[in-house]
Amino acid sequence: MIELNKITKKFTLHNQGKTNILVFNNLNLKINPGEIVALTGPSGVGKSSILKMIYGNYVFQSGQIKINNHNIDHTYPRNIIELRKNIIGYVSQFLRVIPRVPTIEIVMEPLLEINSDKDEVREKAEKILLKLNIDKNLWNLSPLTFSGGEQQRVNVARGLIRNYPCLLLDEPTASLDSVNKDIVLNLINEKKDSGSSIIGIFHDEYSRKYLNAREIDITKISDAK
Write out the residues near another protein by the rule CB under 8 A.
11-15, 52, 55-59, 74, 77-78, 80-81, 96, 98-101, 109, 112-113
> What Cα–Cα distance (Å) separates residue 47 from each residue in 42, 55, 79?
9, 13, 24
For another protein, the closer of residues 24 and 58 by Cβ is 58
- Rounded least distance, CB 132 to another protein, Å: 23
Closer of 98 and 179 to another protein (Cβ): 98
Minimum CB distance to another protein, residue 222 (Å): 18
Closer CB to another protein, 87 or 101, in the complex: 101
Residue 155 backbone phi and psi in degrees, to 5: -60, -40
Give the β-pairing of 35-40 and 197-201: parallel
Least distance to another protein from the beta carbon of 147, Å?
19
114 pairs with which residues across the strands?
none
Q: In terms of CB distance, is 112 or 224 closer to another protein?
A: 112
Tell the burial category of 212 from Cβ atoms under 10 Å away from its Cβ (0-12, 13-18, 19+): exposed
Least separation in angstroms between CB 185 and another protein: 27
- Helix crossing, 103-112 with 118-131: angle to 10°? 120
